[in-house]
């Protein structure tokens, strides 16, 4: 298809699409929009950054057309607040010339304002499962008019333990409805929920599952320890022309805070922000908006931001830590190379993380090219505690793959136990001899 005109969308939608700068539909949009408009259930598997959101938002807007009644006619479920806000932003962009009302519901904020918006009437609800159920059970939402139920990033919902809430939502929505499920990866748990959720769906698989976008160049640095990772990061960021808009992903909140403070000292408060689950909702929204608008150069984040963060022209994504949930690798690097732009994904890997890199390479069915650490990077010595932590992690990994594996520390423990036993045996023998001597 050459253009959005071929979908026979109404003029209001086409004008909004043109003003947003979209000229050619992506592959997932070409394959999904027509069957959704035809009323079919759809299961879409597409890598992140390929325009999945517009693929289901446009046909929903085309079908709903204008405001009607007080109750919602479409429910879009999202695993995270960030993704819910991103979807709502897309809806606002495309419904610019339509008389449709959208409410976004998520936790982390008091529900008062959200209840007020629901009371004013809405056509589309974008929500995280927990907050939707909370407000439904309080009698704030009537689901009888729902025509569409969309589950976006279904695999992440399963990873985050939403399966129970999803089943409860399926019990309270009308049976007669159109169902859409989209994800970048498709786990067994997602296939199970799809069986309960979709009726004879049209399956759209734009690329093989868990395949990174072709517009993303990947590379890997094997780095011995945390301090050397920081040195390498600083060295690469010296090229501020190439590395002009960067996301640095970390596996924990504490590592994210440490990286943020390090970069803040180097580049100043105006260049760096950090977002993770311990940050307040307003702080996270402000940080994301500042990053989108180009007011800051570097955003440090945990995987809370790996999905739903749609920022154009992100030049580089850094995996400061290799993700333990290996599917998150695809979503992290999908923050760059979006909408036909080129991007770079750079991963730092210590000896304990090599285990997860091997699993990621199997998942994405390709090897990540390894680069040499540049000569200008000072390689620090690994401290005792970090060395021990890496050794223990490698032991745990070997134990996962081989339950019979005893571990690097086993012989020492065994030896110390044996020496302890021999000492106690000697003591007992001595006591017996003493008793005989004095009896």
Q: What is the DSSP string of 230-277?
A: HHHHHHHHT-TTTS-SEEEE-SSHHHHHHHHHHHHHHH-TTTEEEE-T
pLDDT value at residue 355? 94
Buried b (16+ CB within 10 A) or exposed e, 361-384: bebbeeebeeeebeeebeebebee
CB-based contacts of 413: which residues, under 8 Å, 6+ apart? none
pLDDT of residue 24 exceeding 90, the answer is no
Confidence band (pLDDT; 50, 70, 90) for 408? Answer: low
pLDDT value at residue 307? 56
Spatial distance between the Cα atoms of 40 and 24, rounded to a whole number of angstroms: 23
Alpha carbon of residue 247 to chain centroid: 13
pLDDT of residue 138 exceeding 90, the answer is yes
pLDDT value at residue 292? 86
- Beta strands 272-275 and 178-183: pairing type? unpaired
pLDDT value at residue 213? 64
Q: 109-123, 174-188, 225-239: which has the minimum mean pLDDT?
A: 174-188
Segment 326-355, tens digit of pLDDT: 878 888 888 887 766 788 999 999 999 999
Spatial distance between the Cα atoms of 394 and 191, rounded to a whole number of angstroms: 32
Spatial distance between the Cα atoms of 134 and 121, rounded to a whole number of angstroms: 18
pLDDT value at residue 335? 82
pLDDT value at residue 418? 47
Q: Model-level pTM?
A: 0.64
Confidence band (pLDDT; 50, 70, 90) for 426? Answer: low
Rounded mean pLDDT, 3-13: 91
Count Cα atoms within 13 angstroms, Cβ side, for 89: 14
Rounded mean pLDDT, 228-252: 93
Closest CA to 41 of 174, 200, 274, 157: 200
Confidence band (pLDDT; 50, 70, 90) for 283? Answer: confident
pLDDT of residue 186 exceeding 90, the answer is no
Mean of pLDDT over the chain? 86
Spatial distance between the Cα atoms of 13 and 183, rounded to a whole number of angstroms: 25
Closest CA to 407 of 392, 424, 428: 392
Domain layout of the chain by residue ranges: 4-205, 216-383+394-399
Spatial distance between the Cα atoms of 69 and 159, rounded to a whole number of angstroms: 36
Q: What percent of the chain has pLDDT over 70?
A: 87
Which own/partner contact pairs does 392-399 have at CB distance under 8 Å and 24+ positions apart? 393/352, 394/351, 394/352, 394/355, 397/352, 397/355
Rounded mean pLDDT, 400-418: 61
Phi, psi of 273 (to 5 degrees): -135, 165
428 compared with 45, residue with greater pLDDT: 45
Q: Are 246 and 299 in contact (CB under 8 A)?
A: yes
pLDDT value at residue 374? 94
Sign, Cα dihedral of 192, 195, 196, 202: positive
Spatial distance between the Cα atoms of 348 and 10, rounded to a whole number of angstroms: 48
pLDDT value at residue 414? 44
Closest CA to 148 of 185, 118, 120, 123: 123
Q: Which CATH code is given to the segment(s) 4-205? A: 3.40.50.300
pLDDT of residue 432 exceeding 60, the answer is no
Q: What percent of the chain has pLDDT over 90?
A: 54
Instruction: Examine domains 4-205 and 216-383+394-399 and report if their fold is the same.
Output: yes
Rounded mean pLDDT, 25-32: 90
Segment 142-152, tens digit of pLDDT: 999 999 999 99
pLDDT value at residue 439? 46
Rounded mean pLDDT, 278-307: 83
Confidence band (pLDDT; 50, 70, 90) for 305? Answer: low
Closest CA to 76 of 53, 98, 96: 53
- What CATH class has 216-383+394-399? alpha beta
* Strand order, beta sheet including 298-301: 272-275, 298-301, 246-249, 316-319, 343-349, 216-222, 370-371
277 compared with 117, residue with greater pLDDT: 117
Rounded mean pLDDT, 359-380: 92
Rounded mean pLDDT, 282-286: 82
Rounded mean pLDDT, 246-274: 93
Segment 95-110, tens digit of pLDDT: 999 999 999 999 888 8
């Amino acid at each position: 298809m050459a253009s959005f005109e071929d979908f026979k969308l109404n003029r209001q939608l086409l004008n909004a699409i043109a003003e947003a700068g979209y000229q050619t539909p992506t592959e997932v949009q070409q394959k999904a929009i027509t069957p959704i408009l035809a009323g079919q259930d759809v299961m879409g598997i597409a890598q992140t950054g390929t325009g999945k959101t517009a693929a289901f938002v446009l046909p929903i807007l085309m079908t709903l057309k204008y405001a009607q009644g007080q109750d919602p006619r479409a429910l879009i479920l999202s695993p995270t607040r960030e993704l819910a806000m991103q979807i709502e932003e897309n809806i606002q962009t495309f419904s610019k010339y339509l008389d449709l009302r959208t409410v976004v519901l998520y936790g982390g904020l008091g529900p008062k304002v959200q209840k007020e918006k629901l009371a004013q009437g809405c056509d589309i609800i974008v929500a995280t499962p927990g907050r939707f159920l909370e407000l439904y059970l309080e009698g704030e939402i009537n689901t009888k008019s729902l025509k569409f139920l969309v589950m976006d990033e279904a695999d992440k919902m399963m990873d985050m333990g939403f399966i129970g809430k999803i089943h409860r939502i399926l019990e309270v929505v009308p049976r007669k409805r159109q169902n859409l499920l989209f994800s970048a990866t498709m786990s067994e748990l997602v296939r199970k929920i799809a069986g309960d959720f979709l009726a004879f769906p049209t399956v759209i698989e734009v690329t093989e599952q868990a395949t990174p976008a072709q517009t993303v160049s990947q590379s890997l640095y094997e780095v011995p320890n945390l301090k050397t990772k920081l040195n390498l990061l600083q060295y690469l960021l010296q090229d501020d022309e190439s590395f002009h808009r960067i996301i640095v992903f970390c596996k924990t909140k504490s590592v994210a805070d440490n990286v943020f403070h390090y970069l803040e000292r180097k580049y100043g408060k105006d260049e760096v922000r950090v977002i993770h689950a311990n940050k307040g909702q307003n702080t996270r929204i402000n940080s994301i908006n500042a990053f989108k608008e180009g007011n800051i150069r570097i955003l440090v984040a945990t995987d809370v931001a790996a999905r739903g963060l749609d920022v154009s022209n992100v030049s580089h994504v850094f995996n400061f830590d290799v993700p333990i949930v290996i599917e998150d690798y695809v979503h992290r690097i999908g923050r760059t190379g979006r909408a036909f732009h080129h991007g770079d994904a750079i991963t730092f890997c210590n000896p304990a993380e090599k285990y997860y890199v091997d699993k990621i390479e199997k998942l994405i069915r390709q090897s990540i090219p390894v680069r040499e650490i540049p000569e200008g990077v000072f390689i620090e010595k690994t401290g005792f505690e970090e060395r021990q932590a890496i050794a223990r992690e490698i032991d745990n990994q070997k134990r996962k793959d081989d339950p019979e594996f005893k571990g690097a520390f086993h012989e020492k423990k065994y030896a110390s136990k044996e020496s302890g036993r021999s000492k106690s045996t000697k003591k007992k023998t001595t006591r017996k001899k003493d008793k005989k001597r004095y009896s």
